[in-house]
Every structure is written in C-alpha cells, then in structure tokens.
Structure 1
Amino acid sequence: MPIKIPDRLPATDILRSENIFVMTEARAASQGIRPLKVLLLNLMPKKIETETQFLRLLSNSPLQVDVELLRIDNRPTKNTPQEHLDTFYRQFEMVKDRNFDGLIVTGAPLGLVQFEDVLYWEEIQLIMNWAKDHVTSTLFVCWAAQAGLKLLYDLPKRTRKEKLSGVYHHRIHDCHHPVLRGFDDTFFAPHSRYADFSADYLSKHTDLDILATSDKAGVYLAATKDKRNVFVTGHPEYDVDTLHNEFMRDREQGMEPAIPVNYYPDDDINRDPVASWRSHGHLLFSNWLNYCVYQQTPYDLAHFSEASFTKD
C-alpha cells in the first residue's frame, strides 16, 4: 500500500519492517495521481505509539494516502519528545484554510473528565465545527466519539460505573452498509473506556445508523446517513500488547484494575495475549477510506463545497 509519510517519522522504519509500502515524496509525485489528504488529530499522550498504530491501519488500501499529523495545542508533553512534535506535527492555524478528504480524531485519556473541564474543549469544538465545511468524512475514535456526539447531537456525557476493558464480541446490523462490507456477522474488537454508548439511547436521540453492537460493550460502530461522520467507540488500532500495558500501568498506580476481558489466555496475565481484532481493524479503515472518503470526495479539494454526499 502506498502510504506517504515523512521518511524520518519513527513509524516509517516500523512499517517498512512489516513489509508495508511507505512511499517517498519523489515516487508519489511521479505517479501523477492525487493522493487522499487525511488529517490525523492525535490526542493521545504517547503520540509516536498512537500515530504508528493508525498509520498501520491506513496502509491497508490500494489508494495513495497522504497523512498529516495535527496536535491540539502547543503545550509541552512528557510522553513525546518536543523535537518530534516540532518536526512532524502541525498546529490548527497551519491547516485551517485547507480542505481534507478525511479527518481522524483519536481517543484521549479523559474518560472521567467532564467536557467543560477538558483543557482543550474549545479547540476540539473549533476543529469539529471546521470539519463540517472542510472535510469529506470524519472518523471519531473512543473519547472522540463521545465528544462528537456531544457537539453534533448535544448528547450529555454518559459514564459507566466501572471501566470497560478487554476484547468484546460484536455483531453487525446491516451487512450491506458500505462501512461493513466484507465483515463477518460477528467479530472481536478491543475497548478501553468509561464512556457508555447505549444502543437504545443512541437510537432514541440520534438519526445515526447503528452498524455494530455488543451485548456488553454497547454500540461499537455508527455513522450518519451521509457517511460524513463515523463513530468507533473502541480501539481497532490497538497493538496486541496495548491493553496489557494499560493494565500493568493501572496496577502500578494502585488502581486495582480488573483483568481485561477475553484478552489473556485463561485470564492468566503471565501468558501472552493474542490479537483477535487485527483483520477487522484493517477492513474497517479500508472501507472508511474507500466508501466514506474516496467515493465521496471531489477530485479537486478546492471545490469541496460543491461535493454531493450520497446515502448509498
């Protein structure tokens, strides 16, 4: 897959070692085609780890994808070198006058924080409102899905009593929906959140297409009728050891977390977990890029306002 990212980005060597086709800018220019312009708003503290996870999923497509990394503000972070942020990330002011084919907004460790108490809540609102007129399709992941529901449907924050952590069984609700094309009737996906996404609640208070649910985890996947907003409440991007690292971190902080569900063989934390969600994650992102972005976006992004968005 031709995914175009800076050669010096740490993800480049990782993806190449996995036999993922990372294209140089010179080779991309020689192809004479317009790549999809995708903006990744990375809200996670460990930005290098998260950007690599999402770039891996964006690589599973025959389309050429040009990814730009966006940060929410210029506050220093202890989890990512400042040089990395200065070199590879853009501020919103640098992109606000441009149009993009796709926008991905990642999760954030804000499960128990009220929206009005989030330090960058005004910036999130600004970017999500901007996306309505500048982005063909936006993919909201985990916390971002909850934030998107608040901004698009004015839904209040709903929180579970205990953290949802583990790999959960889901079933699809419309095998003919473009986002679900190629999906098995049931599949597994990781969750790590306090947010509550009740299927009944979303059905009553939104016009979203509910695409996939879990009896225990609630709604996993939903989309607006025009596919311009897609909500993923879990973490298809997670590496096999991400839930383990979160679990061990919480234990070291004295939080006494529950063992992630359906994750360790026989619930033995000394045994290596096995990824059971990888193929579904790649297919989800491939479908989003194809059916929600590529099939919908104008060839010339300068004519974005003239684009028509269909429901098929």
Structure 2
Amino acid sequence: MPITIPKALPAREKLLQEKIFIMDEERAFTQDIRPLNILLLNLMPEKEKTELQLLRLLGNTPLQVNVTFLTTATYESKNVSKTHLDTFYKVFDEIKDRKFDGMIITGAPIELMEFEDVQYWEELTEIYEWSKTNVTSLFNICWGAQAALYYFYDIDKHELPGKCTGVFDHTLIDPTEDIVRGFNDVFKAPHSRYTDVDEDKIRKHSELKLLATSAEAGAFLIASKDKRHLMMTGHLEYDATTLKDEYERDLAKGPDAPMPKHYFPNDDPTQVPLNTWRSHTHLIFSNWLNYYVYQETPYQWE
C-alpha cells in the first residue's frame, strides 16, 4: 500500500525514481479504507534529507500512511527555507486537536545541551503530554530517544569521552518481541552522537524492556512494555553516505574529527561506504507500523 504525501513535496520525485509506492492526496481521498495517520516531528537540521529517508521507509509496507510534518514554533531552522516549512509543515497549535496513530520524533544535533536548556524543550514537553491521549505509539530516534527516556522514565543522558560514530554490531536480546521480528541475532546499525544512556537503569526500569544492545555503542533499542514508546539510540534510517557527509562536515571544523568506526571499507575514507543495515531498517519501520500502530490504534478515535 502507498504512502500519501503532498503532490509538490520535493522528495516525491526521488521516491518515484526509487519505486517507492506513493499516492497524491487527491487520489488518496477517493480510497474507501482507513489509512494510518503518522505525525513526523522533524528536528534534524537538513530536513529534506530526513524527509526522504523516513518517507522511503514508511512507504514500503502494505499499509496506507498519511504523513503530517511538524516543526517547532519556538525555534526556526537555519538549514531549510521558510518557504519549505510554510508549505509542508505544521506547528503544534495547528494539529493539537487531532488524533494520530503514530508519531516519529527525530534526532537533533544538541546532545551536549541539558534538556531544559534546549530552546524548544518546553514546547516538546507539551507535545509529549498531548501524545499521552492523542497518539497511539511514539517512535523516538537518537536525541529524540534520549529525550523520551528522560521525560517519561526519568533516565538522563551522560556525555561520552568522544563521539560515538560508526556502524556497530548489535546483539538481539529477545527475538520473540514483535518489533524485532525478522531480525538477525546480530545486526549492524549506525550511530552518531556525543552522549549515551545508562543501560543498567533501562534494564532495571519496570516499564521498559531492552531489546538490543552493542558492546561498543551501548543500549540501542528500548521499548515500553505497553508499546506506546519505542526508543532507538542510533540511526537505522541513515543512508549509506550519511556518516561520510557528517565526517566531512566535522573535518571542515577541525582535523581531529573522529573517523566513523567499521564504516569505510578498509578504514579508507576515500572508498565508498556500503549500506550494511538496510534490511533491518525496513524491518523495524514495518514492524512498528504493523505491531505498534496498526494493531494497537482504534479504527475510530473517540
């Protein structure tokens, strides 16, 4: 089934080229079925790249998905045009009276800031509170995962000695969990962050379950036992070259930028990196849409 997006969205042509099944809003309105309504709070600086990465995944399942893009009202992004935001994005006041089957909260390059010092933290906490009654399941990525663990479960982040960047092996803890159906016992996933969360606190929390972890990168996949929250500390949604682009950006700021581990062939940054995590990327998003959203959300919200 297709993903429904605005006809003029720039990502549309690239999605069509990649044979992702998409549908214009005009055609979707004629379908006599119940689509899933997904809210995407995009906190990443290069919003169009993130849109493409996530739409590619949401559009590769048997479910019809309507996506609403959300941005912060209390912080104006400097890396995307105001025209793009005005055309394709909503702010919270515009959607707070609606119900959504699922919501994705992306990462943000602000890990070293205290949560309360983030310019839009108060706005985000308002969204979190609203989500308790208006969203079936939240999928939180990287900084978004750390923010959710802090707000909902009182588990804070801590700074690492250096940047955690690279593609790391992860061990699956319980393959019977719905969200990891089809996963290999050991799988790869990219990370790119300066902070981490305490794995022991996650394991001991009565409302949480640790689903996958890495000896090098720490806790990776955490779910609430009621399936309302999924936290992913890395970036399965990343393209093959995303870490390369970030590395080159960091090198431009200074020569001491750490090279992503286990990423470039033969640790040679002149070689083209391979995507070794793609299958698990599609699995986690399709499993989330099916088991955490479609199977859990009411057909008609009260």
TM range (shorter): over 0.9
Q: Matches of 2:55 and 2:255 in 1, distance apart?
A: 32
| 2:216 match | 216
| 1:309 match | none
Q: Matches of 1:76 and 1:158 in 2, distance apart?
A: 27
| 1:26 match | 26
TM-score by length of 2: 0.97
Q: Matches of 2:79 and 2:50 in 1, distance apart?
A: 11
Q: Give the secondary-structure state (helix, strand or coil) at the position aligned to 2:78.
A: coil
| 2:119 match | 119
Q: Structure 1 residue 24: deviation in Å?
A: 1.6
Runs of 5+ unmatched residues, structure 1: 304-312
Q: Matches of 1:115 and 1:74 in 2, distance apart?
A: 15
| 2:261 match | 261
**Distance change (3 Å), C-alpha of 1:233 and 1:212:** same
**1:253-292 aligned within 5 A:** 253-254=253-254, 256-292=256-292
| 1:92 match | 92
| 2:15 match | 15
Does 2:179 correspond to 1:186?
Answer: no
Q: Which amino acid aligns with 2:252?
A: E
Q: Which amino acid aligns with 2:250?
A: D
Q: Matches of 2:78 and 2:150 in 1, distance apart?
A: 29
| 1:176 match | 176
**1:97-176 aligned within 5 A:** 97-176=97-176
Q: Which amino acid aligns with 1:274?
A: L
| 1:203 match | 203
**Kept in 2: contact 1:153–1:206 (CA 8 A):** no
Q: Cα deviation per residue 1:221-263 (whole Å; 9 max; x = unaligned)? A: 1101110100000001111111001000010011611110111
TM-score by length of 1: 0.94
**Kept in 1: contact 2:68–2:89 (CA 8 A):** yes
Range with bigger deviation, 266-275 or 197-206? 197-206
RMSD: 1.2
**1:41-120 aligned within 5 A:** 41-73=41-73, 75-120=75-120
Runs of 5+ unmatched residues, structure 2: none
Q: Structure 1 residue 286: deviation in Å?
A: 0.2
Q: Which amino acid aligns with 2:118?
A: V
Q: Which amino acid aligns with 2:2?
A: P
**1:229-240 aligned within 5 A:** 229-240=229-240
Identity of aligned residues (%): 52
Q: Matches of 1:4 and 1:153 in 2, distance apart?
A: 33
Q: How many residues align?
A: 302
Q: Structure 1 residue 206: deviation in Å?
A: 5.0
| 1:6 match | 6
Q: Matches of 2:108 and 2:206 in 1, distance apart?
A: 23
Q: Structure 1 residue 75: deviation in Å?
A: 4.1
Q: Matches of 1:66 and 1:219 in 2, distance apart?
A: 31
Q: Cα deviation per residue 1:283-302 (whole Å; 9 max; x = unaligned)? A: 1000000000000000012x
Q: Matches of 1:133 and 1:158 in 2, distance apart?
A: 30
